[in-house]
Every structure is written in structure tokens, then in C-alpha cells.
Amino acid sequence: MYIQFLLVTIMPAIPESPRPVLLEQLLRRDDLWRGHSRRFTAQPSVDTGHASLNGELLHKGWPLGALVEICQRGFQGEWQLFMPALLALHPGLIVLLNPPAEPFSQALLQAGMDLDRLVVINAPDKTRFLACFTELARTSGCGAILGWQPRDHFTYTEVRKCLLAASEGAGLPILFRPSAVQQQSSPAPLRLFSQVVPDGLEVTVFKQKGVLQRYQPRPLVLPLPPAWQGAPPYHVLDRQPHPDQKRGGVPGTDIVDIRESS
């Protein structure tokens, strides 16, 4: 009895050559940045409340779920810059982490802020600050977090932790840092420099992911809100000068003749 064996050789299948992809097809992708183009994947944003600043930002507002870094010298008009966006964010808590001064509740109420949404947390050292910032940035119940960096130096890795935590949430995480770090590398996709000037708040966007900076960025001056602008003294507004009285150099003021009558 003979047993006949059948040998079968299995040849590996020859893979099909990939179809050629045209360059124009790649350039039409939304996730491909061409460097000189402002076309990029759309990202949720909130209106800054400043038309000139919206025009400079890629997403026409503050990006949500992305770290915003503000470099400044001390206390430089944070409420003026972010108050319109904070009022537009609903729902969610607004957390002030390590603020340099105690918020003035009456001014916030006058601006329309709901104080029940406002939470103040003091974290003077770097370790506690980073722990609070990263946890709050991930929390869905946090609409915005404004954190002022402590005096301790932050490394690139520590700022990146804040960035990764911000990308896991959907709020507006803002990190205020000293102006000295402006020349240092940072992973934050949006970086601005702000300082108070006589005409208002001067803001410069010097880094923005998705936008190639070809020229030196020009600062924008955001005017002061009407409620912040100075008003003439009350006696100038209330008093009506008599026609027979002499007028001084300042409009609305009177000069009284104190010479003795003859």
C-alpha cells in the first residue's frame, strides 16, 4: 500500500502597490499645515469680546481645550482682557488659582459676574499649583481657570503637563507667567504679552500654533471699558455757571473775584 503525499507550496501574496497620492490631495487635508497658511483644523473657541484681537487669533477667539499663556509684568489688566469671555462661558465654574490680589466683588457684580460661579484657590508653592491646575483643567465642571504662576521657576516639562491636562478638558485654561519667560521656549500653542498703557491694554500675540510669524508682531491696544474711563469731578457736572461770572481756563469751572469792593 502506497501513501501518496501532495506537497503544496504556499506562495505569499504579492501586495498591491499603493495608489499614488497627488500632492494637491495632501494639501487639501484639514490637518496639514502649510506654514504660510492660516488654514488649520477648526477648534472650538469663545469670543474674546475685542474685535481687533479676534482678527489676530486663528480661531477668531480664545481656543477652548488649549493652554493660553500670558506673559506680563505683575498685575496687568487681566480682567479687562478676559472678562467678556468669562461672561460668555456657560455653564461651569470660574477658578482663580493663586491670584495676586483679592478680587473686588462689587466690581465683578457690576460687570455682570455671577459670584456663585467664582472660586478662589491659594497655591503659593509650585507643587500645589501644578496639581491644582492640571486637575481643574481636566474637570468638565470648570469653565475657565486663571492661574498666576508662583515665584518658582517652571520648566518646559511642567508647562507641558498643564498643556496636556488642558487638552483633556473643554474649558478655557489660562496661565499667567512673568515677562522674563517670553524669550524662553514654551509648549503653549498660544502666547501673548500684555501691559497697561495710558490708552488701555497693549496686547501682542507673539506665538500661535498654525500661524507662521514672518514679521515682528505688532501690538494691539484694547481701549478701556467705558466704566473704567475717568469722568469730570461731580461739581463740574452739577454746577451751572452764572452768565455774569468769569470763566477760567478749565471748562465748567468758575473764577470768583475776591477783590474788595471800593
The phi and psi torsions of 223 (rounded to 5 degrees) equal: -65, 155
pLDDT of residue 198: 85
DSSP string, 139-208: -TTEEEEEEE--SSPPPHHHHHHHHHHHHTS-SEEEEEEEGGGGGS----SEEEEEEEETTEEEEEEEEE
pLDDT of residue 77: 86
Beta carbons of 205 and 181 less than 8 angstroms apart: no
Contacts 24+ apart (CB under 8 A), 88-91: 88/46, 88/47, 88/49, 89/46, 89/143, 89/144, 89/171, 89/172, 90/143, 91/117, 91/143
pLDDT of residue 38: 53
pLDDT of residue 251: 42
How many H helices and E strands in the chain? 7, 12
Q: Quick one: fold of 42-228?
A: Rossmann fold (3.40.50)
Q: What is the pLDDT along the chain (262 residues), one digit of tens a residue?
A: 555 555 555 556 666 666 776 777 666 665 555 555 555 557 899 999 999 999 999 989 999 999 999 999 887 889 999 999 999 998 899 999 999 988 899 989 998 999 999 999 999 899 999 999 999 999 989 999 999 999 899 999 999 999 999 999 999 999 999 999 999 999 999 999 999 888 889 999 999 987 776 677 889 999 877 766 665 555 545 555 545 444 444 443 333 333 343 3
Q: How far apart are CA 198 and CA 121, in angstroms?
A: 31
pLDDT of residue 23: 72
Q: Where are the domains of the chain?
A: 42-228
